[in-house]
Structure 1
């Protein structure tokens, strides 16, 4: 499997409205200059760059492009503001009931440890070489399926951490990068404003080192977890992409025969 094949496969098995996004940190000026994508010509919030990439745009960003101070801090392109680090800032806006709780949130966030010269943010399918993190923004059903795909090889998802702040930059980018583990986010009011995500959308961040296993896991868990009506649409999407459909089995699910007592209109 290569990057393009993995995107074809995941878009066959899941009904995604947005493209999976790849994020790559470029730690030297030489790496940045050699990365053959145009630098954004204006400031943009990091989360909006991810939104743009989910719709097909490719870009490089440096600290000069950063329009959100907290996003820039997560990416180590700006120092964390002292009021945020101390907890005073968010407490003063009544986000947390005391300074100690507010500070604990700042302390728990996993920001980038080494300052990059820049970042590439593009649809995953646009990469020739591996990015660092894959971000998928979608409806909860698809995030569930990606969690199940991860579980196929990795088991229980034990380290999910989120608090409804710094959702794209920390929850879905620097946390997976630092921990080599997946994470989910329900997004936050800031990114929902500036990136205009849909109310029903949430996100998952996946270290690229886990990406192929997650995709394969989604494929392998289709028969136990998907019902026949969805299997039919999956089969159709796979055929449209020229992908093999022989492994799809109808009338077979993990919970066959498990339920009793008044079930109505239970779809296979």
Structure 2
């Protein structure tokens, strides 16, 4: 298993980037139950999704065995027992689980994050896309823990009625599960971005007409993947172009990443992203008098 650097706090790094108020939850499947961990046993049995919710909201840590489970589906999905009558999938096979540790991210098998759709979008960009395989049943125990444990791939679930009813997950919350190694690489990528800046989203520059590329180059802006980059008064500036439904370039976005806290005047706004402040301004291209094809007024940016 990959290990985080001594100064790498995976939970803090990922949460600060997406602005999440909930702690990341590490889940470890144990084939043996240690006597020294008995002080982390819960006071009473609950559903697995309730333990996950409490760990995310309060930072609680638990060591669970089968007697701590009040939901029979979780007992099967997490590999405590084999199904007797009807097979349930996904589940950890064979059923050799003796305990499940919920809490710290380090040294876990699966990392769970409670996020909003927007935060999930931001994570998906960094992960290069995330598949979502869910049926609205056995979400936390099956789809997000057992499923990720088996597949070794991230998964997003929109949860199940049990998680929302008994564990009180909010309507605007989804949960993503990922292997520990994926969470570590994600945190390392965020650390690298925090030293340079980050990214918004625009049309791929490979799809932009050559004359527009030439006009940006004339004013000192080179093309990236989906943006142009250059410097204005010593500051790094990124420019994104967006199309309307007719395929016409209608908006231009200026993005100036600055380390630390800054203020900006309207129509620009500031968005915090970890250690960085993103100054962002979105303008109607015709409204500010720019002609991308002729380059008219482009140098005035």
TM-score by length of 1: 0.70
The match for 1:22 among 2, 7, 26 is 26
Q: Deviations over 1:218-265 (max 9, x none)?
A: 4556622379xxxxxxxxxxxxxxxxxxxxx86426xx1243455598
Larger strand percent: 2
- Relative contact order (alpha carbons < 8 A, sep ≥ 6): 1 or 2 greater? 1
Q: Which has the larger radius of gyration?
A: 2
- Aligned pairs (5 A) from 1:64-79: 64-79=67-82
Cα distance between partner residues in 2 of 1:3 and 1:209: 17
Runs of 4+ in 1 over 6 A off after TM superposition: none
Is 1:257 the counterpart of 2:241? The answer is: yes
Is 1:208 the counterpart of 2:180? The answer is: yes
Q: Deviations over 1:51-98 (max 9, x none)?
A: 01102111111000000011111012233352x53xxxxxxxxxxxxx
Is 1:179 the counterpart of 2:151? The answer is: yes
Judging changes above 3 Å, is the alpha-carbon distance between structure 1 residues 192 and 250 closer, same or farther for their aligned structure 2 residues?
farther
TM-score by length of 2: 0.63
Which residue is 2:93 aligned to? 113
Larger helix percent: 1
List runs of 5+ in structure 2 lacking aligned partners.
Answer: 203-234, 253-266, 268-279, 283-301
List runs of 5+ in structure 1 lacking aligned partners.
Answer: 86-105, 228-248
State the SS of the aligned residue for 2:108.
Answer: coil
* Alpha-carbon shift at residue 113 of structure 1 (Å): 1.1
Cα distance between partner residues in 1 of 2:44 and 2:8: 29
- Higher mean C-alpha displacement, 174-183 vs 213-222: 213-222
Give the number of equivalent residue pairs. Answer: 211
Residues 135 and 205 in structure 1, CA contact (< 8 A), matched pair in contact too: yes
* Alpha-carbon shift at residue 144 of structure 1 (Å): 1.7
State the SS of the aligned residue for 2:16.
Answer: helix
Which residue is 1:51 aligned to? 53
State the SS of the aligned residue for 1:54.
Answer: helix
Residues 223 and 250 in structure 1, CA contact (< 8 A), matched pair in contact too: no
